Amino acid sequence: MTLTLPTPATPLRIGTRGSPLALAQAHETRDRLAAAFDLPQEAFEVVAIKTTGDNRKMIDADRPLKEIGGKGLFVREIEAALLTGGIDIAVHSMKDMPVVQPEGLLLDCYLPREDPRDAFVSPHVTRLPDLPAGAVVGTSSLRRRAQLLVRRPDLKVVEFRGNVQTRLRKLEDGVAVATFLAMAGLNRLGMAGVAQSAVATEDMLPAVAQGAIGIERRADDHRVAGMLEAIHDAPTARLLAAERAFLAALDGSCETPIGGLAEREGGTLRLRGEILRPDGSEQLSDEATAPVEDGAEMGRAMGAQLLARAGAGFFDFKA
């Protein structure tokens, strides 16, 4: 099938949030598509969409995300624009995406994964173990909160939302002495030097799909499907198939502290996963290997096993 390619007069519209990181991810997507089809940047239009989660007048930045609607706050308007034809594709951080998409939308294109590790960020302390007793650490992530408290129950963890720049300002203002960001986001912003250190995955498993960019499209848009096929990274897709199947089996959301990471070793996938009580009082983990093509089934099985071990009410415990 011959693709009808976009032009400066009829550009492909790329939807995204308006944060610096979201725009950087949209620009990476644009640049990859432009290179794949030898098109000028003007053949693409990046459309920044203000989501409910980005509206400071409506959202209290100090309230936990789970109390104001969860991570769906950051994708609903973008997906609505995609469904109604206001944009042609939507670019997302995959760690923010639910495991099920709205009817009529598909998420089947991934860019090469960046560094999946967490970054330890502090103007005062070099490494996580060096934090003094009782230190205040800021994070909006239930996963990071629980992982911290497993290792350091003496720490005080406070709510710390906002984009990368906002969180760095909060550190400068003394709201906390340290926080965590994604190494992938810092790398994409050219800000890797902000991290005092990258946290080993043996110490803190990242969020499922952390470091990966996903591109969502309308299921019936065959032109876009053909274009996205040219930039789709199959190795990243295999890793995410295992991780997101693990998350789906746990019915994971922003209200459940879950970590998961798949890594390829030759023709084998190694998957590590964990679930935690929000207050860090209990942590359950598992590890498995399987042939690459069986990654999704391995993820589902691991999620089911951890859920069975946890029993009813594991995630209901209040921090």
Instruction: Measure the CA–CA gap between 229 and 233, rounded to whole angstroms.
Output: 9
Q: Please tell me which residue in 54, 96, 115, 118 is annotated as part of the active site.
A: 96
- Name the nearest CA neighbour of 253 among 15, 78, 90, 73: 73
Q: Please, which residues bridge with residue 119 across strands?
A: 181, 198
- Quickly tell me which residue has 């070793």 as its tokens: 265
Instruction: Measure the CA–CA gap between 297 and 273, rounded to whole angstroms.
Output: 14
Q: Where are the alpha helices (DSSP H) in the chain?
A: 20-37, 76-83, 142-151, 164-172, 183-188, 222-229, 234-249, 295-310
Task: Look at strands 44-48 and 89-93 and give their pairing.
Answer: unpaired
Q: Which amino acid is at 192?
A: A
- Name the nearest CA neighbour of 250 among 274, 272, 270: 274
Task: Look at strands 178-182 and 136-138 and give their pairing.
Answer: parallel
Task: Look at strands 89-93 and 12-16 and give their pairing.
Answer: parallel
Helices 234-249 and 295-310: crossing angle, nearest 10°?
20
Active site residue 96: yes
Backbone angles phi, psi at 274, to 5 degrees: -155, 155
Q: Please, which residues bridge with residue 291 across strands?
A: 268
The catalytic residues are 96
